[in-house]
Structure 1
Amino acid sequence: MAKALVIGANGFIGSHLVDALDGAGHEVTAFDRFSSGTTTFSSERARVLTGEFLSRSDLEEAVRGQELVFHFLSTTTPATAESDPTLDVRTNIAQTIELLESSVAAGVGRFVFASTGGAIYGQQGQDVYSETDQALPISPYGIGKLAIEHYLDYFRAKHGLASTALRVSNPYGTRQRPNRKQGLIPIALRQIALGRPIQQFGDGSMVRDYVYVEDLVRMILPVVATTPEHSTYNLGSGIGFSVSEVFASLRRVTGVDFAIERLPQPKTFVDRVVLDVSRYEGEFGRPQSPTSLDDGVRALWAELGRDAG
């Protein structure tokens, strides 16, 4: 087992990853701002390290003595990157380079980056996308993720830093924060809970690959348990659901016949993104008992109800 650092440990995916790594026997350090004053993960063994991602000295302290570094923090969302592309460049890209430099200096064994499978392939009109397809992002968020992937290649070639980019589809599930304005499912559920209409961009035919967060972290563990054959993996369910199909699931789970506010589809929204996960499954096997869309929505809806209570 390894000493593992999770950057963004109090976030949606990061908190689940802390618990999964701890459960697998790794010695986990959880790095985040912890601005709420509480931890969202369950692990009691994880070492909590409070720091700022934008602080080089905090990053240097965090990576010291670590064998695995998981970079699961983003300073932007697709929406905020869209409204200010330079913010993504100045914070996410620039600071990730500093994190990579610090990792090299600290002798980190492997660097694992949470990239995006939902935005990196762009609008190419394909039914599914594999890692061998071109990455042609048309949104600042996807462009930034691809730039970081290229820097992983650079640090691998220049400094020998082993790295893995995980192109995650559209994750959803418990601990997801609706007020961060990222993710159709949590945002929609919050609107339902508040008795408000749900915004629908386009005609409801946009298709995305939704992966439940606990399924996702179960997919990550085998990738870091050995030396993987590839530097990039698509991680998703491999199944596409349209916006209309997601809304049907929300109605089944909540029992609420909510109103829909229809808005034009933004030009940077692609029509269909479903990930080909055959590379992952060929190397690590097919995930067992994946969570159905209804069951995943039900878990998040129950959590939102508990939080409101």
Structure 2
Amino acid sequence: MKYTLILGGAGFIGSNLIHEYVKLNRGVISFNREQPDNGNLDGIRDKVVSITGDLGDSELLRRIFREYEIEEVVHLVSSLLPASPFYDYLKEYDEVTIPTMRLMKIMQENSVRKLIFLSSGGTVYGSYKESGYYNEEDPLRPINYYGLSKCNLEEYIRFEGRKGKIDYLILRASNPFGRFQNLYGKQGLVAVILGKYLSNQEVEIWGDGTVARDYIPIGYLCRSIISLSSMNAWNETFNIGSGVGVSVNEIIKTIEDALDIRLKVRYKEARSIDSDRVVLNIDKLKSFIDVEKIDLGKSILDFYKYIRECENDKR
């Protein structure tokens, strides 16, 4: 059997992607530093090979490539957040960036060419366009270390691609939300707002709420990844978003209307690490695959219903 090796498969995006691959009867290997018992793979665990290890363990990776027929590698590993400081960036460089460079050499040793790298549409462009509307050809000018780290890996991947050593897909995703997302973390606006509501806490907003991004259901992101891979759109970079800018205030209103609730909101001083407006131009994506239409309110309501169903199952 041929396998897709998913680095970071136990996380929010990875778990959802694994479910999509299993639906297609594809072989999947989930590689993680830890294999949390979070229930994300309930119902399909016997259809997934789970391997615990460190991305920096080159000998373990070589053994995986020897023992399994790897067809493609999906790279989802990152420990940074947009607010991460300089020393976390240095740690990421040692623990993720350099090991990824070695990984590509191991892929070459084993004649595995296909690498899918999930970059960050919300941070790699920075904040220099008045329109806030960015396409894949625009210069990358990140203003936080998370975005800089993604740019570092993008450039190295393209470098190996130019040398003819790998076939890559660089996917600059916007802001996904949905099943398996942490409601009580520091990343993912929709999930964090729902977590605050369910725990009866205030929603804290940096700035005046006019910062705008685009938001996509996690299923949309995963299906887009698989579609691009399946049609052999290699050695390309794609924005994956909705193409529609939504401010934080509009997200709050959308959630309130979809759930028929009222949120407690407190505004705080804006952060310099946040771009004012980043909306992804998805014309290129549309020229390659059929892009799903997104009903933001319905997608958020579906996410909320899933959360409540999970709570009921635990009782």
TM-score w.r.t. length of structure 1: 0.92
The aligned amino acid for 1:27 is: G
Counting only pairs closer than 5 Å after superposition, residues 88-167 of structure 1 correspond to structure 2 as 88-125=92-129, 126-158=131-163, 160-167=165-172
Alpha-carbon deviations, 1:128-171, whole Å to 9, x = none? 11101111111100010010001102222346111110010111
* Structure 2 portions without partners, runs of 5+: none
Residues 299 and 95 of structure 1, relative CA distance in 2, 3 Å threshold: farther
- In structure 2, distance between residues paired with 1:212 and 1:83: 32
Aligned to 2:252: 247
Aligned to 2:306: 303
Aligned to 2:280: 275
Could you tell me whether the CA contact under 8 Å between 1:5 and 1:62 is conserved in 2? no
Could you tell me whether the CA contact under 8 Å between 1:81 and 1:88 is conserved in 2? no
- In structure 1, distance between residues paired with 2:51 and 2:305: 30
Residues 113 and 39 of structure 1, relative CA distance in 2, 3 Å threshold: farther
Alpha-carbon deviations, 1:280-304, whole Å to 9, x = none? 111223x23x342112212222233
- In structure 2, distance between residues paired with 1:115 and 1:200: 25
Aligned to 2:209: 204
- In structure 2, distance between residues paired with 1:10 and 1:39: 10
Partner secondary structure for residue 133 of structure 2: coil
Identity of aligned residues (%): 26
Partner secondary structure for residue 83 of structure 2: helix
Could you tell me whether the CA contact under 8 Å between 1:10 and 1:39 is conserved in 2? no
Could you tell me whether the CA contact under 8 Å between 1:66 and 1:108 is conserved in 2? yes
Alpha-carbon deviations, 1:54-90, whole Å to 9, x = none? 4333333334431100011212222335673222222
Partner secondary structure for residue 80 of structure 1: coil
Residues 127 and 94 of structure 1, relative CA distance in 2, 3 Å threshold: same
Which segment is superposed worse, 293-302 or 75-84? 75-84
- In structure 2, distance between residues paired with 1:140 and 1:171: 20
Runs of 4 or more, structure 1, over 4 Å off, are none
Q: Provide the aligned C-alpha RMSD in A.
A: 2.1
One of 222, 229, 244 as aligned partner of 1:224 = 229
TM-score w.r.t. length of structure 2: 0.90
Residues 107 and 26 of structure 1, relative CA distance in 2, 3 Å threshold: same
Aligned to 1:23: 23
